[in-house]
């Protein structure tokens, strides 16, 4: 089965669920964000679940990045909260490596 770069099965349009891997930088960003915005924890968890299930879901506004972040992707977790990630392989399966979390100005 071949998939396109956004996780859709090229033949049937089904979605491939991906494992989410956290980089150390993402872990630090997440702890810092939740310390100052504890009320967003449930929303952020739901966004990560959606990202794992279907990174191309329109509600996430997933897009490729350019410039110094070329090769990476970003999605919206809230009005001004972004998650930067890249597609990778882990144990022979496709996965998403979470790289950064923060406001638009913080991550770009």
For residues 75 and 55, the answer to whether their CB atoms sit within 8 Å is: yes
Q: CB burial class (10 A; 0-12, 13-18, 19+) of residue 62? A: buried
| Domain region containing 65 | 19-107
Residue 13 has pLDDT above 90, yes or no: no
Give pLDDT tens digits for 31-78.
999 999 999 999 999 999 999 999 999 999 999 999 999 999 999 998
Inside any domain, residue 3: no
pTM: 0.84
Inside any domain, residue 8: no
Inside any domain, residue 48: yes
pLDDT at 4: 54
What's the CATH code of the domain at 44?
3.30.2310.20
Query: What's the average model confidence in pLDDT over 99-106?
Result: 95
């Amino acid at each position: 089965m071949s998939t396109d770069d956004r996780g859709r099965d090229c033949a049937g349009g089904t979605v491939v669920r991906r494992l989410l891997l956290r980089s150390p930088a993402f872990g630090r960003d997440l702890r810092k964000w939740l310390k100052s915005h504890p009320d967003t924890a449930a929303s952020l968890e739901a966004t990560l679940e959606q990202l794992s299930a279907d990174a191309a879901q329109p509600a996430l506004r997933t897009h490729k990045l350019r410039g110094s972040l070329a090769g990476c992707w970003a999605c919206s977790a809230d009005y001004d909260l972004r998650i930067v990630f890249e597609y990778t392989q882990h144990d022979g399966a496709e996965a998403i490596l979470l790289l950064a979390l923060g406001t638009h100005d913080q991550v770009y």
